Amino acid sequence: MPTNFTVVPVEARADAAQAPDGGDEEAGWLGAQGCPEGHAGPEPASPTRSWSPAGDGTPREASPFISNADVDREMFSEGKNMALFEEEMDSNPMVSSLLNKLANYTNLSQGVVEHEEAEDSRRKEVKTPHMGTFIGVYLPCLQNILGVILFLRLTWIVGVAGVLESLLIVSLCCACTMLTTISMSAIATNGVVPAGGSYYMISRSLGPEFGGAVGLCFYLGTTFAGAMYILGTIEIFLTYISPSVAVFRADTAGGEATAMLHNMRVYGTCTLALMAAVVFVGVKYVNKLALVFLACVVLSILAIYAGVIKTAFDPPYIPVCLLGNRTLSWRNFDACAKLVANSSVPTTLWGLFCNGSSADACDAYFTRNNLSVIQGIPGVASGVLLDNLWSTYLDKGSFVEKEGVVSVPVPEEAAAGARPYVLTDILTHFTLLVGIYFPSVTGIMAGSNRSGDLRDAQKSIPTGTIMAIVTTSFIYLSCIVLFGACIEGVVLRDKFGEALQGKLVIGMLAWPSPWVIVIGSFFSTCGAGLQSLTGAPRLLQAIARDGIVPFLQVFGHGKANGEPTWALLLTALICEIGILIASLDSVAPILSMFFLMCYMFVNLACAVQTLLRTPNWRPRFKYYHWTLSFLGMSLCLALMFICSWYYALCAMLIAGCIYKYIEYRGAEKEWGDGIRGLSLNAARYALLRVEHGPPHTKNWRPQVLVMLTLDEEQAVKHPRLLSFTAQLKAGKGLTIVGAVLEGTYLDKHTEAQRAEENIRSLMSVEKAKGFCQLVVSASLRDGTSHLIQSAGLGGMKHNTVLMAWPDAWRQSDNPFSWKNFVDTVRDATAAQQALLVAKNVSLFPQNQERLGGGNIDVWWVVHDGGMLMLLPFLLRQHKVWRKCRMRIFTVAQVDDNSIQMKKDLQVFLYHLRISAEVEVVEMVENDISAFTYEKTLMMEQRSQMLKQMQLSKNERQREAQLIHDRNTASHSAVAAKTQAPPTPDRVQMTWTKEKLVAEKHKVKDANMAGFKDIFSLKPNQSNVRRMHTAVKLNGVVLSRSQDAQLVLLNMPGPPKNRQGDENYMEFLEVLTEGLNRVLLVRGGGREVITIYS
């Protein structure tokens, strides 16, 4: 971010004599307002293109930073300093006026259109975003990542997969989210990310089709996440807090699982209705409770670590009853023994395995194996880690057995489900565990979803999200090792804590009480469910309001304050589907699919943008690479099929159907996305797609038409112009090299072929990749106009004209050569194309040169759509200019606030992601010097003399033609006399010597009178003011940029009155006098650079 600013007042020339001002002051610059205080619409990256007539009658695209109402107001500032640019004042604002309002731009917090419009009258009272990295990104991500899976399933995953494979599962999932975060950080820091978060980033990077498909998948994932959190809440409540409140009871042996599912459905539906009512009443209540829920998560994790530390010297006594090597469910018996101590009375456990007091009526396995009690949590120093290193995958209904314990096998048992054994409830394998675990690492988008509330989103989102991933990855990895080192394997594999008398396994490890974990996990899952039910409807509302899916538009409406009522209703209905599934282990892989698909396309978006290298792709986050994005995308795709290949196919089918529907029926949107950029390489299909209109500002790059001049041998006069083109383009985009031969094509086709071969060979030498287009025309003027109008094909047309300054415009042998130049300027303006004029092009560096340093100086006088900002950035991508620094000079008038201009320009450059040193130069209002009067007088005298010389030349031509006509008539008369009878002559055709001398003296006297009038001229006051601007600006530029490697300067437009064209050339010559390399830049009437992502 630029921080070096210098305000330099420019004093009047001390050695110049002062002259009276004279004449009326001419209108100055048009005042303009900046960007309104926030974009209320869902598409701030695509400003409405409104057109206003320019000074030369050419429509210009309105800047998104300029208010049209203020343009119509025509607030002119009086003064002489900017008179040279007055032709631009009705279409382009002064830089000082533009920057004056940039400070009003704000990142409004996340909201909706109606609500923001209703609050428009109170906009000034809205507080600016104030959340930092820790509060705004780190803690929300922490709360979303740590949740239900950690408390309810992580111990079971460690027991089934073993410590090593559990570490592999967590590493795969964390690597996936870390790579996705790197890609997301690049996208999020590539300009201002308005409220909308991940959906906004994906849709604006990959287009409406991919954006809509992935956005809806992300919405479904968030909705099913809400269902998962609600199911987790009910599981904690019914299993560990109050099992007695269950509505359904098991009537038969083995019916507990079915009854539990029915209870989950009933209580889950009631909880969903309650949560939806809370969200409907007001989001503010959810936000107020967020800190409480987060505190529950943090305290629970601290309790786990405290419990682990305590087990090192004082492990808790938690007995586990084994029958042989099988784990028993310690629910319906009090003692792990067959007989009461010191007696022959059977225990309660005996009655669960036997039908009577006799051993013959007992279960065979119960009879042959002994009961034993082991320590469920032996502690971190017990060495149990070695036993838990390897996986133990089991079929559904299998016994949870302890390895290494003696057991007497028995024949197949038919009634195992009726006995108090701990049995597995599902078939377990590695891929299933990946699908169940992956939701525990989702939540990395929490920071980007709050982008509108952040003080500096471009800094906070990458830092906070990466910190949160590192923290949570450490927590998960350390918990896996600690669980494996502290807890017995059979207890780890006991999903619902049946061996622990129905207590939560991780709760028994915690200190000081198991209830810390139970209550903490209950409230954290409640909070996560509320957050999902809050975020999902807003995501659906954003998609509906974008208008890309027509049948969803009804969900874009809401209450008067903008709350998404209809979207909340649909979210609750979809969430109910997940609750009816009723199994946490079945819902988790479903939402894993949708989140993985979302993350996959985030990585794809970053990879596409990086490979395309669009000029707008300038992320502040530099630690990304397309290979990392591609690796993240591949890992997401692999995890989708690892989790569940049929779920993955279903999710991709859903996304594909949505994609095709949006493509077929959806509203056409142009968001400057990367897929549109790729389509430029798809020939016919791409040409038809981009034919509809100009590209989006984010995809805009200079598509250059290079106008070359040829000598008599059809060789290029300025080969350095092609070198500069190659440096500017770096092989990207469209380059058309044009040239004109005077004559007719039938006569000049051989020379045209030779000239085209010369141009192509020079393009190859200069590494200028593009197309050559040579035109043979009756005049140079017509040929140039034809090229500007017709070069290119379809959407592959140029938008910028590059030409060399006509150095010989003052030579007497061709005094009107500048006419072609001025007309070319007018043609480019009429065609709404940017114009670049390279002065002293022979001094420009070749491609083999390497500038070791120096500055590229930008003199920003008129806002030209951002061309002056974009060109140095593109040049510095090339090796020739890479080591040059960029400096921006802007001119402040007497009434401008220089300090405020510095601050506004700082904000503007920061949002553009462009680092540059900035100087604000104050133009002091002073009298016009005698030097300026003298310069103007000489210019006008020369102009008049050229006109007189041209008049004399024309008269001589007319005289010669008159003599030729009279001689022809005389000869015809003599020939007629010899063939016809004599007739009296009616016309005297004699041309005597005396008459010739008299006619010459007459012309000479007229010419002398004209030349006498020249030296009695008084300079025109308008020309004096223009010359004053040129002289003063030239002095300022020379004082700051004489040693610069390149100077970029706004090019004033030609005068409306064509009589002053020759003076226009003189003004440009004075403006650039004494500078080595100059690039005059004239915008094409549209924005070419944007602060948005």
Task: Give the pLDDT confidence of 632-665 residue by residue, as tens digits.
Answer: 999 999 999 998 888 899 988 988 888 888 877 7
- Average model confidence (pLDDT) for the chain? 78
Give the per-residue pLDDT at 571.
94
What angle do helix axes 514-546 and 197-236 make, rounded to 10 degrees?
A: 140
Q: Are the beta carbons of 883 and 851 closer than 8 angstroms?
A: yes
pTM higher than 0.85, yes or no?
A: no
Which pLDDT value is given to residue 71?
Answer: 41
Question: Which whole-number Å values give the CA distances from 935 to 408, 1020, 1039, 1069, in the listed order?
Answer: 115, 12, 20, 12
Could you tell me which of 731, 659, 675, 722 has the C-alpha nearest to residue 701? 731
Contact criterion met (CB below 8 Å) for 706 and 725: yes
DSSP H stretches of helix in 487-513: 489-492, 505-509
CA distances from 373 to 376, 398, 428, 456 (A): 9, 21, 27, 58
Strand partners, 796: 793
Q: How far is CA 391 from CA 167, 348, 663, 714, 995, in A?
A: 12, 34, 47, 79, 122
- Segment holding 886, helix H or strand E: strand 885-892
Closest Cα partner for 707 from 767, 765, 785, 760?
Answer: 785
State percent of the chain over pLDDT 90. Answer: 22
679 compared with 454, residue with greater pLDDT = 454
Higher pLDDT, 964 or 878: 878
Which amino acid is located at 717 in the chain? K
Q: How many helices (H) and strands (E) does the chain have?
A: 34, 16
Mean local confidence (pLDDT), 217-239: 91
* pLDDT (average), residues 199-212: 76
pLDDT for residue 176 is more than 50: yes
Determine the Cα–Cα distance for residues 517 and 527; give it in Å rounded to an integer.
Answer: 15
Q: What tens digit of pLDDT does each residue of 1004-1024 get? A: 554 454 444 544 455 566 677
Nearest partner of 131 among 466, 456, 443, judged by Cα: 456
Q: Which residues contact 413 (CB under 8 A, 6 or more apart)?
A: 363, 364, 365
323 three-class SS:
strand
Q: Which residues pair with 855 in a beta bridge?
A: 885
Determine the Cα–Cα distance for residues 880 and 555; give it in Å rounded to an integer. Answer: 54
What's the pLDDT at 272? Answer: 95
Determine the pLDDT at residue 489. Answer: 92
Average pLDDT of 353-375?
A: 83
How many Cβ atoms sit within 10 Å of the Cβ of residue 542? 23
Q: How far is CA 251 from CA 235, 258, 415, 582, in A?
A: 20, 10, 16, 20
At 564 the pLDDT is 85
Q: How confident is the model at residue 569 (pLDDT cuts 50, 70, 90)?
A: very high
SS3 per-residue string spanning 1048-1085: EEECCCCCCCHHHHHHHHHHHHHHCCCCCCEEEEECCC
Identify the sign of the CA torsion 672, 678, 679, 681.
positive
Note the pLDDT tens digit of each residue in 305-314.
999 999 988 8
Token pair belonging to 1057:
């009155």
Residue listed under structure tokens 């996705």: 180
Alpha-carbon distances, residue 945 vs 656, 821, 1013 (angstroms):
74, 21, 10
Give CA–CA dist 643/498, Å, rounded.
28
Give the pairing of strands 5-10 and 59-61. unpaired
Lowest-confidence pick of 61-70, 414-423, 1022-1031: 61-70
Contact in structure between 671 and 46 (CB atoms under 8 Å) = yes
User: Which residue type does 677 have?
Assistant: G
Torsion angle in degrees (nearest 10) through CA of 89, 95, 100, 105? 100
Q: Which residue has the higher pLDDT, 360 or 400?
A: 400
pLDDT tops 70 at residue 690: no
pLDDT of residue 959: 52
Contact partners, residue 529, CB within 8 Å, separation at least 6:
226, 229, 230, 233, 271, 275
- Cα–Cα distance, 456 to 907 (Å, whole number): 12
Q: Does 41 or 256 have the greater pLDDT score? A: 256
Report CA torsion sign: 1040, 1042, 1048, 1049: positive
Length of the chain in residues, anyone? 1093
Alpha-carbon distance 550 to 546, whole Å?
A: 9
Q: What CA–CA distance (Å, rounded) separates 1086 from 49? A: 9
Rounded CA-CA distance 88/1056 in Å is: 11
Do the Cβ atoms of 439 and 228 come closer than 8 Å?
A: yes
CA–CA distance, 337 with 347 (Å, rounded to integer): 7
Show the CA angle centred on residue 49, arms to residues 46 and 51, nearest 5°. 165
H or E element: which one contains 855?
strand 855-860
The span from the CA of 1022 to the CA of 1038, in Å, is 24
Torsion of CA 1049, 1055, 1059, 1065, to 10 degrees: 0
Residue at token pair 């025109």 = 1020
Does the bond joining 129 to the residue before it have cis omega, within 30 degrees of 0?
no
User: Whole-angstrom Cα distance, residue 17 to residue 27?
Assistant: 25
Return the closest-CA partner of residue 498 out of 373, 353, 261, 328: 328
Written as one letter, the residue type at 788 is I
The whole-number pLDDT of residue 31 equals 36
* Alpha-carbon span 222 to 214, nearest angstrom: 12
Q: What is the mean pLDDT of residues 156-173?
A: 95
Is the pLDDT confidence value at 581 over 60?
A: yes
Q: What is the average pLDDT across 248-252?
A: 76
Q: Within 10 Å of residue 684's Cβ, how many Cβ atoms?
A: 8
pLDDT of residue 258 exceeding 80, the answer is yes
Question: What's the rounded Cα separation, in Å, for the pair 599 and 635?
Answer: 10
pLDDT (0 to 100) of residue 118: 45
Grouping H, G, I as helix, E, B as strand and the rest as coil, residue 819 is helix
Beta bridge partners of 75: none
**d(Cα 705, Cα 885) in Å, to the nearest integer?**
27
Q: What is the pLDDT of residue 49?
A: 40
The residue ranking higher by pLDDT, 964 or 1072, is 1072
Alpha helices in 897-1019 (DSSP H): 898-911, 930-979, 993-1014
Residue ranges with strand state E in 395-542? none
**At which residue do the structure tokens 């083995």 appear?**
254
Using alpha carbons only, what angle is made at residue 859 by residues 858 and 860, rounded to the nearest 5 degrees?
Answer: 105
Q: Name the pLDDT band for 223 (thresholds 50, 70, 90).
A: very high
Cα end-to-end span (Å), the chain: 18
- Token readout for 634 is 């591949």
pLDDT at 73: 43
Give the pLDDT band of residue 412 (cuts 50, 70, 90): low
Q: Which residue has the higher pLDDT, 377 or 19?
A: 377
Strand pairing of 735-742 and 704-708?
parallel
DSSP tag of 13: P
Query: Residue 223 is inside which H or E element, if any?
Result: helix 197-236
Which pair of structure tokens corresponds to residue 72? 């119509």
What is d(CA 475, CA 141) in angstroms, rounded to the nearest whole number? 14
